């Protein structure tokens, strides 16, 4: 095994077991409440944008409440935006005055976040943008995304990118050295020729590994949501990342390298349509959809990190909290079909998904069926079955109308007397219409996952 891949596999063991995380995008952009890209999309000058810092009170910020919500939802890790593209820091950086400790809130919001989530037993990570629209040495005019990209008066003459990188490295070192052990560093993002060694990525990763050798890192020093980079090759670079990060979608078949080997990956998805708080965005995904997205990711050997965008006061919107609490109720009953589980080595069934943990196969039944539910090609492989939510026995079905399909195994979730045949399977609504999970204990000699 390639040394890069070997080290990556060891570092991500806990991460691949955890499966479900919380992303939190929060910053000055919560005040205008139009999403985190406002300054870039509206091409705002620094003079137009930076006064928001004078209003950043974070008066109701209670990270302990956030952490309790994440735990209740069944999330095992959480990542907070320590600094987004606008350059505003939620931590007490000594390298800038554009930070929360200089805002009216006067608090190191990152430190409080880390303390609160660690106290709940949740793994912690920090998002850091390698883009900084405020720094004078970051490219302005002509850059693909900078707010001043179309303003010729913001010429790049006399801008020193190496000086910017020194600043960027310094802030990353602050996060790595001043806040205890971090589980994840989530860098964002590369584009055009702004990638790889443009960020001095080899040197950066060497620094990160020297300070925190076990921290799990995403792939966006090299890749983006559009291109995973060399993590999908047989010869990944040292800065290829520990996991790929598809955005606002779930890959059709999971992610594998050029040799067909699975690689760690995580779909990052918003709960509504924005990452940062958007006051008028009430287009929320239902708890049912979130649960099914999570199951879909795990069935393909991936993770789901679900984003919430707190408002300017530091409150997670009530709609978000209600959805997460409902997800948590399902997770409390069915979590063992998620944690530690992955690809089952069996094609996706027509009625839902499979996840697997060793010789325990989990059938996630999401669609009602006419009669018995088919386990394709699994005749003779089943030892016993139980409904995960309450450990109810689920009997294997051997009814007369299934004999022609004897290469398969079948089970039913309801029994009744139909057409005078006692015990005949009847079509009823699923016990849990979101996802009824059946735990299938496979015999020891049953085929292992691919």
Residue-wise DSSP of 237-250:
-TTS-SBB--BSS-
Q: In this predicted model, what pLDDT tens digit does every residue of 45-94 receive, in sequence order?
A: 999 999 999 999 999 999 999 999 999 999 999 999 999 999 999 999 99
Q: What percent of the chain has pLDDT over 90?
A: 91
CB atoms within 10 A of CB 307: 21
Would you say residue 449 has pLDDT above 50? no
Is 318 buried (19+), middle (13-18) or exposed (0-12) by CB count in 10 A?
Answer: exposed
Where do the structural domains in the chain lie, given as residue ranges?
Answer: 3-337, 352-442
CA 72 and chain centroid, separation: 17
pLDDT band at 424, cuts 50/70/90? low
> What is the C-alpha to C-alpha distance for residues 179 and 211, in angstroms, rounded to an integer?
12
Most distant CA pair in the chain: distance in Å? 88
Instruction: Name residue 188's beta-bridge partners.
Output: 129
pLDDT band at 371, cuts 50/70/90? confident
Would you say residue 417 has pLDDT above 80? no
Whether the Cβ atoms of residue 168 and residue 132 lie closer than 8 Å to each other = yes
If you ran DSSP here, which 8-state letter would residue 141 be given? T
> What is the C-alpha to C-alpha distance for residues 126 and 203, in angstroms, rounded to an integer?
20
- Residue 414's pLDDT is 78
Q: What is the mean pLDDT of residues 9-14?
A: 97
Return the CATH number of the domain spanning residue range 352-442: 2.60.40
Would you say residue 425 has pLDDT above 60? no
- Residue 420's pLDDT is 45
| Strand-strand pairing, 360-365 and 373-375 | unpaired
> What is the C-alpha to C-alpha distance for residues 272 and 269, in angstroms, rounded to an integer?
9
- The CATH architecture annotation of domain 3-337 reads Alpha-Beta Barrel (3.20)
Q: In this predicted model, what pLDDT tens digit does every residue of 148-167 receive, in sequence order?
A: 999 999 999 999 999 999 99
């Amino acid at each position: 095994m390639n040394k890069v891949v070997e080290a990556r596999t060891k570092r991500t063991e806990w991460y691949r077991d955890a499966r479900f995380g919380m992303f939190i995008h929060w910053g000055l952009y919560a005040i205008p409440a139009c999403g985190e890209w406002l300054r870039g999309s509206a091409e705002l000058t620094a003079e137009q944008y930076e006064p928001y810092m004078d209003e950043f009170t974070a008066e109701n910020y209670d990270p302990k409440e956030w952490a309790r919500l994440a735990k209740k939802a069944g999330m095992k890790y959480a990542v907070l935006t320590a600094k987004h593209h606008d350059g505003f820091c939620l931590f007490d950086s000594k390298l800038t005055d554009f930070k929360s400790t200089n805002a009216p809130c006067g608090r190191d919001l990152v430190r409080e976040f880390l303390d609160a989530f660690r106290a709940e037993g949740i793994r912690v990570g920090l998002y850091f943008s390698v883009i900084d629209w405020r720094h004078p040495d970051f490219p302005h005019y002509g850059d693909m995304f900078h707010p001043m990209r179309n303003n010729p008066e913001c010429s790049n003459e006399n801008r020193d990118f190496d000086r910017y990188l020194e600043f960027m490295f310094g802030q990353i070192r602050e996060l790595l050295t001043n806040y205890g052990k971090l589980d994840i560093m989530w860098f964002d993002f590369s584009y055009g020729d702004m990638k790889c060694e443009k960020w001095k990525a080899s040197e950066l990763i060497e620094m990160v590994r020297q300070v925190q050798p076990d921290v799990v890192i995403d792939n966006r020093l090299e890749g983006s949501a559009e291109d995973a980079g060399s993590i999908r090759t047989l010869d990944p670079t040292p800065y290829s990342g520990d996991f790929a990060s598809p955005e606002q979608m779930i890959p059709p078949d999971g992610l594998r390298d050029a040799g067909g080997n699975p690689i760690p990956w995580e779909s990052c998805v918003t709960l509504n349509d924005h990452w940062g708080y958007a006051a008028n965005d009430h287009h929320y995904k239902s708890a049912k959809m979130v649960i099914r997205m999570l199951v879909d990711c795990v069935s393909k050997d991936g993770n789901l990190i679900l984003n919430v965008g707190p408002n300017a006061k530091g409150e997670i919107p009530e709609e978000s909290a209600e959805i997460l609490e409902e997800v948590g109720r399902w997770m409390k009953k069915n979590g063992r079909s998620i944690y530690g589980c992955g690809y089952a080595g069996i094609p996706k069934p027509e009625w839902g998904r499979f996840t697997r943990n060793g010789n325990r196969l989990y059938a996630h039944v999401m669609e009602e069926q006419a009669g018995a539910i088919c386990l394709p090609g699994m005749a003779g492989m089943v030892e016993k079955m139980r409904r995960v939510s309450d450990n109810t026995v689920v009997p294997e079905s051997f009814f007369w109308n299934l004999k022609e399909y004897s290469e398969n195994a079948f089970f039913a979730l309801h029994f009744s007397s139909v057409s005078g045949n006692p015990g005949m399977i009847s079509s009823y609504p699923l016990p849990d219409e979101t996802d009824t999970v059946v735990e299938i204990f496979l015999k020891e000699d049953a085929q292992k996952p691919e």
